Amino acid sequence: MAERARTGLNGVMRDQSVSAPSLLSLFNSFMRIGLAAFGGGLAAWTRREIVEVRGWMDDTQFLSGYALAQLVPGATNVNLAVFIGTQMRGVPGAISCFLGLCGPPLLIVLVTGYLYLHSQSAAAGPWLGAALSGMGAVAIGLSLGTGIRLGRRNLRRLLPIGITAIVALSIGIFGYPLPYVLLVMMPVSLGAAWLTRAQPQTPAKRA
């Protein structure tokens, strides 16, 4: 695998050794993501397409973009698509990823929503509801599997593991509101990352 470019925090987060993908490739990739993510699980499908299949980013770069997409207002996965498109091809890339992710699924949602509302009184109504519930369970499994896979590959020190565990327990077990947890843990996480960042090695002085 080609070596990833070493950039600063404001650098372009993609493999600089390969040419940037075309706008059509970006559109097609995110159209497949949007059409495959029945019931949710977009983050799992996005990581698979961008990191494993296309190799446009590595896990560290993807996680950085995903964290940024969660912090800014708007839908996380749409923000992530815009972020990836911007990293690949700038503003045209962001537009291509957004249209690919949201365009075809929006048409499907409009059609299926119409059919769902008009099938409640029909005999197949309960079966359709059960199918949608099953798709939701699959999406939860995809998201959980992606989280475990990313954690095994990227959480290698006790401090990040502890922060991740605290956030998961605070929200999932104790039921604290997400904004309050983020308000406390974001400064803690940023401070920990700042204190434990890799120090640049200074060249040895000649005698």
How crowded is residue 15: how many other Cβ atoms within 10 Å of its Cβ?
Answer: 19
SS3 category, 174: coil
Ranges 58-67, 83-92, 193-202: which has the least confidence: 193-202
- pLDDT over 70 percentage in the chain: 78
Identify which has the larger pLDDT, 124 or 165. 165
| Cα–Cα distance, 5 to 17 (Å, whole number) | 7
Picking from 37, 109, 46, the residue whose alpha carbon sits closest to that of residue 79 is: 46
Asked whether the beta carbons of 61 and 13 are under 8 A apart, the reply is yes
Whether 49 contacts 120, CB under 8 Å = no
CB-based contact 31:103 (threshold 8 Å): yes
pLDDT at 206 over 60: no
What's this model's pTM, rounded to 2 decimal places? 0.59
